[in-house]
Amino acid sequence: MPEPRWDDPQFKGGTMVRAALWLVQEIGEGNTFTKEQLRAAFPGVAQADRRARDLREYGWILDTSSTDVMLLPEEQRFTRRGVDVWDAEQRRAADRDSGAISNKVRDGVFAANGYQCVSCGIAGGEAYPDRPSETAVLAVSRRSIERADRTHEQVLVTECKRCRSGASTRAYSVPEVRALVEDLDPDDLRRIKRWAAKGARATTPLDRAWNGLRSLPAAERAKLLTLIE
């Protein structure tokens, strides 16, 4: 399929597809752009930048100042293009591949990680501390783990959608994790060894009470707490 023009009024692609074409035709791989430029290209389109971020699901790499320190906070870099999302056949093939994680496998990964994001520790449905209006949605991501012998292995992990979109290229290495574990005090080290043996973080009465409270509507939660001294 020939590459359509991003601004062709005859072309009926959605915002994500047109944003992909805009990046290729107006910005060019390796160059930076701002949210303002993207908004100006798609006037009246709500959340054009969010639709552009959806391209990461198709292998596009868009770096921000949190993934590349050379970038200013308002800048993003169109680092690498991925699947030609304007080509229906290529897009369907990519959707098939990403859908290859069955519900059964996904539920197993969620359970293994205690229904918590392995990156930030948030539980599914929990509100983000820095943005209480937004609650975590869990997803399964493929991660490349570096073993102690420096070879790599693909594993499936639970991640919230926020961490997934911001840190999709993040790879953990055994030496890095080792340094973190070595820094723990003896009590925390014993605790984490017990969690590792169980395959999950043990819940305390405090955790269980918090999980219960969290599941209540905010008004019920507040009312209940005023009743208990």
Segment interacting with Zn ion (CB under 5 A) among 4-12, 68-76, 93-101, 154-162: 154-162
Tokens describing residue 34: 């701002």
Q: Minimal distance in Å, beta carbon 139 to Zn ion?
A: 10
Segment interacting with Zn ion (CB under 5 A) among 22-30, 71-79, 152-160, 165-173: 152-160
Q: Minimal distance in Å, beta carbon 53 to Zn ion?
A: 15
Residue closer to Zn ion by CB (options 120, 213) is 120
Segment interacting with Zn ion (CB under 5 A) among 29-37, 72-80, 161-169, 208-216: 161-169
Binding of residue 160 to Zn ion (CB under 5 A) = yes
Touching Zn ion, residues 114-133 (CB under 5 A): 117, 119-120
Closest CA to 85 of 11, 159, 9, 26: 11
Give me the residue label for tokens 């405090």: 206
Q: Minimal distance in Å, beta carbon 126 to Zn ion?
A: 10
Residue closer to Zn ion by CB (options 41, 163) is 163
Residue closer to Zn ion by CB (options 15, 165) is 165
Binding mask 79-118 toward Zn ion (x if CB under 5 A, else -) reads --------------------------------------x-
Please, what is the Cα angle at 132 between 162 and 214, to 5 degrees?
100
* Residue ranges binding Zn ion (CB under 5 A): 117, 119-120, 160, 163
